[in-house]
Amino acid sequence: MTYAEYGDPSTLELTDAPTPKVSPGAVLIRVERASVNPVDWKVMAGGLDGLIETVFPVIPGWDVAGVVEAVGPDTPEFTPGDRVASYGRTDVIHGGTYAEFVALPVTSVAAIPESVDVEAAAGLPLAGLTALRSLETLELTGDDTLLIHAASGGVGHLAAQLARETGARVIGTASTGNHSALQAIGVTPVSYGDGLVERVREIAPDGVTAVADFVGGVREDTLALLARGGRHVSIADPSVEEAGGRWVWVRPDGPRLRTLLEKVAVGSLQVEIDRSFALADAAEALEVSKAGKANGKLLVDATR
């Protein structure tokens, strides 16, 4: 799937493209699943034009799970036939994962454990690495009370599980329909929207020591709830840096992705999947993502 200029998902077209070349230290992956992330349609609309070079036509997508088709020179880490996953952002927006093949540097690629299915592996990379980097930035410990904005979202539900592993108390905002799912993973749910500060104060009268914002537009609520000396991060609002927080960007990282995949393998981390779309229907998948109508990760199935 490609688009030749910035626009909405309707600009996507199913086209033929040459198989990517495989440079030294890279692998060619036969794509089985790509996952849909909000950044995909934001990039398509030109949202990162000021940050990352774009070369048209563009194949969208940064998450992938599949099988190694070929390896470049001096790439002993993998062999053809290996099952792998990756958060495959590169320095240029051009050759993404909504395709039959993608070539990626081996440093961003991780082996998929035998017990992990391809859909969970595809849904994990960007969201899981974002969650992990956010919590590492917060330096979360068992003494913390963490507030997660959008705790039932693609990044939030993974961050909530990882945060609980540290022993921290976790409070998460979500719509009422998602409260039971949060309770099942040990999170205290609260409804977002007007009155959020008061609702959280009922649970944590002294405020919270850490906040992870995965939705944006909540900086004032964060500051109203943060205890003295508390830490906060956001993946959606760079203005938090003006208030002592950190604006977090996920980085491709094969070893850390492998760590997350191993957690999935032993059952300590679960990736919620909503549904899969055929490659030719990728534009529909992006529209569902834009509308916020998914309960879990949306996937693109490149095998159909």
Give the residue from 200, 237, 198 showing the smallest Cα distance to 217.
Answer: 237
Identify the residue with better confidence: 185 or 296: 185
Do the Cβ atoms of 149 and 223 come closer than 8 Å? no
For the chain, the helix, strand and coil percentages under 3-state DSSP, each to the nearest 5: 35, 30, 40
pLDDT exceeds cutoff 90 at 295: no
Tell me the C-alpha to C-alpha distance, in Å, between residue 32 and each of 40, 234, 302, 303.
18, 31, 5, 6
Return the amino acid letter for 284. E
Tell me the C-alpha to C-alpha distance, in Å, between residue 281 and each of 13, 18, 66, 285, 301.
10, 21, 19, 7, 9
Return the amino acid letter for 174. A
pLDDT digit string (tens) for 32-87?
A: 999 999 999 999 999 999 999 999 999 999 999 999 999 999 999 999 999 999 99
Rounded to whole angstroms, the Cα distance separating 204 from 206 reads 6
Query: What pLDDT is stored for residue 294 in this prediction?
Result: 82
Give the residue from 72, 129, 82 showing the smallest Cα distance to 106.
Answer: 72
Query: What pLDDT is stored for residue 151 in this prediction?
Result: 96
Q: For the chain, give the mean pLDDT.
A: 96
The tokens of 94 are what?
């051009």
Query: What pLDDT is stored for residue 289 in this prediction?
Result: 94
Query: Interior CA angle at 259 toward 139 and 245, to 5°?
Result: 25
pLDDT above 90 coverage of the chain, percent: 98
What does pTM read for this prediction?
Answer: 0.95
Tell me the C-alpha to C-alpha distance, in Å, between residue 230 and each of 144, 154, 239.
9, 25, 17
Which structural domains are found in the chain, ordered by start? Answer: 9-124+271-301 (3.90.180.10), 129-247 (3.40.50.720)
Question: Looking at beta carbons, which pairs linking 76-80 to residues 24 or more positions away fall under 8 Å?
Answer: 77/106, 77/109, 78/27, 78/106, 78/109, 78/111
